[in-house]
Amino acid sequence: MSSSETQLTDEQLDEHISAYEAKLAPKTGISRQRLLVTLMVIAALAWLAWPWQDELAFHFSNKEPIDLGDAVGVMERLPKEPNAYVRLQGILSNKAATVSGLRPGSLRMGPVQVRRLLGASIFVEFDQDTFLDRYQMFTQIDVQGRLQDFGPDSELAPAYYYFKERLKMKFPPNAKVLIVDERPGEMWRYPIGVAFCLVLIMFSILSLLRTAQRRHTSHEEMVAEE
């Protein structure tokens, strides 16, 4: 046998040995595609639930409403704490904005309407289908709910820009919005929603681990048969 034939045979043997050793090597069983899909699911669920943290904290806060009285001159009496639970009286103005569909950053379904209170930089957000008959322009109201910032970075930014750009309304930096009928202990859709997202995340992770374990077990059985 010539040296070239011997060398060729040795190269072929090396290839077979390398392939066999690769087959014997333990495998994680997690494909890049499956791992990427799992990470995307986790990221999407985290992105969905992240804006609910204010509502979740408010639900478990066990607060009593702070009575702010009349809206005229109320800006000096506003509580400094964020996410405050307040009660307020005032007269609704004639300027309103409506947000349809799922309200941004929440689990509230629209349409929701936002109206300004006369004499204050406070707006009132309410369920349009439920309260429209009672909350008309120039109507005296007595409401309570959760108080939030109302600006370009707020959850109601679409309504903010509607007031500012379409209605040419001027906004002070401390404008607020009172979300009617949001009360501590009565917003169970948020803990339920967070729990549902956590269950889906755990299911995705466990499914990924089970797939890896099955593939690893199949690999060991294949090696044992050989």
pLDDT at 223: 47
pLDDT at 23: 55
In a domain, 151, yes or no: yes
The model carries a pTM of: 0.74
In a domain, 164, yes or no: yes
- Residue 125, both tokens: 């957000």
Instruction: Tell me which residue range forms the domain holding 37.
Output: 32-62+187-226
* Mean pLDDT of successive 10-residue stretches along the chain, which has 226 residues: 54 65 54 85 92 92 91 89 92 93 85 93 93 92 94 89 91 90 92 94 89 61 50
pLDDT at 18: 64
CA angle, corner 99, sides to 98 and 103, nearest 5? Answer: 150
In a domain, 3, yes or no: no
User: What's the CATH number where 105 sits?
Assistant: 2.40.50.140
CA distances from 197 to 30, 33, 146, 155, 214 (A): 23, 22, 24, 21, 26
In a domain, 168, yes or no: yes
The neighbouring-strand residues paired with 169 are none
